Structure 1
Amino acid sequence: MAPTESNKRLALAIIDFLGSSLKDGTLTADDAESIEIAQSCIADTFKVDPTDEAAVKEAVGGQSLASIYSVYEKLRSKSTPQAGSASTEQSQTDKPKTGAPTAESDKFKSEGNALMSRKDYNGAIAQYTKALEIAPGNPIYLSNRAAAFSASSQHEKAAEDAELAVSVDSKYSKAWSRLGLARFDMGDYHAAKEAYEKGIEAEGNGGSDAMKRGLETSSRKIEEASRGTEPPSEELDSAPGASRGGGGMPDLSALAGMLGGGGGGGGMPDLGSMMSNPMFANMAQNLMGNPDMLNNLMGNPRLRQMAENFGQGGGMPDMSSLMSDPNIADMARNMMGGGAGGAGGAGQGGQGGQGQ
């Protein structure tokens, strides 16, 4: 006798459960080989293809075998009558089907809805619980109680009820929405996004506006979280030219550092001595009037090399050789107050120097 379609779906659900047990840490890596052999044997015996994602999804209804079985266990524990109770004396034909509403359970649900409208969330939870005692696993009662739990900030309980509701009825979109909200409030934005996606799928026609807003909000939170892991971008000075000190002045310490530092070591005059020289004072005034000039100066590779050699004890450079560079000579003339035409040349010279 060949396996029925129902048996094939169950076989796929078992294979999926075994694979998930390895991924979630239920089983160790040492068990991987045995699990793979078991999966292969089940697939061959029941003539199923575990790599067929559509078939696996159809088999488990978007859930997992473990979650489906947990629903069964909860329903069984709630529907099992206690010894000596009135329920044990009721005939099987008189018992309502598990999860099926009755007039009494609907009465409790209506009372719960009225309490929700008055924002008496604890009272509503109590009434929905009474309804569930009569009709365990009813997805509407579970979904309503999930809403009450969310409203009272009991998000884990809300998620549990909503998960149970969608396990019972995977097409009940309102339960998916409440599961998305509960997971969102728990900070599990990926799980919330998944719940809203399944809710949109259950609704059909592209989903309701409320469900799409939930999906959009969850997706945005995921993007924000991913951006938060990136290092913040460095804030740069928006003004043109070189780095600046207080009040927008050019950072003359950078120039002094390039010329050997302001400490007076190695025979180099300190910054105070330099500024007492009329030539350097004139240079500083021109730099403050044209900050781009300092940027060009600092970007010139010849000057950079001069500073490095001097810092490594190489002595003062040959100024005649240095001034033979037309770019540096042009900049020097401008720093000494060479006029508007020279200022343009300095900018061009600096750009040319950077391109070398």
Structure 2
Amino acid sequence: MSELKRLAYSIIDFLREQTKSQAWTSDERESLEVAMQCLENVFKISSQDIHLAVSPPLTEIFSAAITKDLIWNTPSDFTPSAQDVIKAEQLKNEGNNYIKEENYRAAVESYTQAIELDPNSAVYFCNRAAAQSKLNNYTAAIEDCERAIAIDPDYSKAYGRMGLALTSLNKHSEAITYYKKAVELDPENGTFKSNLRVAEQKIGEASSPTGAGLGFDLASLLNNPSFVSMAASLMQNPQLQQLMSGMMSNAISGPAAGVGGLTDMGSLIQAGQQFAQQMQEENPELIEQLRNQIRTRSFSGSNEGHS
């Protein structure tokens, strides 16, 4: 409890110094005074309890933190020992191996230990960002990418992984900005270019009343001669014709047909399954093309290597 009192006294002292600033409005100054009174009442302390003061005061600690660039997103002046550098690199490699094994939590821990030994490495922060994204911790991944960029503004992977994390949060416009920077720094990187195209497509789909929610380009599919020919051929299948005929009969059978005129949803499902199976058997190459088209809409960051 005594430590809490010392902390509370330091905060009150800090706030008291702030109230002396002319930058505050009367309402803001009143709020600060209320905050100080609350702390004094809770911890039963007052400005007379000088024995609780810490040295240096909180104001000086805060000022020193800014002056010495100890804010988290600013490269540190700390210089690790040669032994720490070697150990940090070993931990980084250990984290990379965990990534390959898909043990992402262990990877985060290894990268974190590497950072503690050498906080000036953009690679360690960037690799941890990749592991955090695999755990769906996208906010943490973004913070690590920001740290990596602060350390090395020309590190293309940090921008690329920032784009992936932002895209996962559906922040496609922001992602595009980072992908473009990644491509600018590494114009030969196909992954950056692919992810940039996908993000731009997502923006286009969001603004299109017909494109939203589609996993592939429906217009291109319907204009594909192979697909049209295959569909026409499949519709000659006697089994499919029988199923379709039965559903059409149900559809016009009057009120007893139920919602949408279908009395047997199982028939519809069965028809769809048979149609899909026939498509696969009729033209497996086209089906594979469609699958590849869908895959290109997803991001290729999962195949990205680690430094």
Q: TM-score with structure 1 length normalisation?
A: 0.37
Higher relative contact order, structure no. (Cα contacts within 8 Å, ≥ 6 residues apart): 2
Q: TM-score with structure 2 length normalisation?
A: 0.43
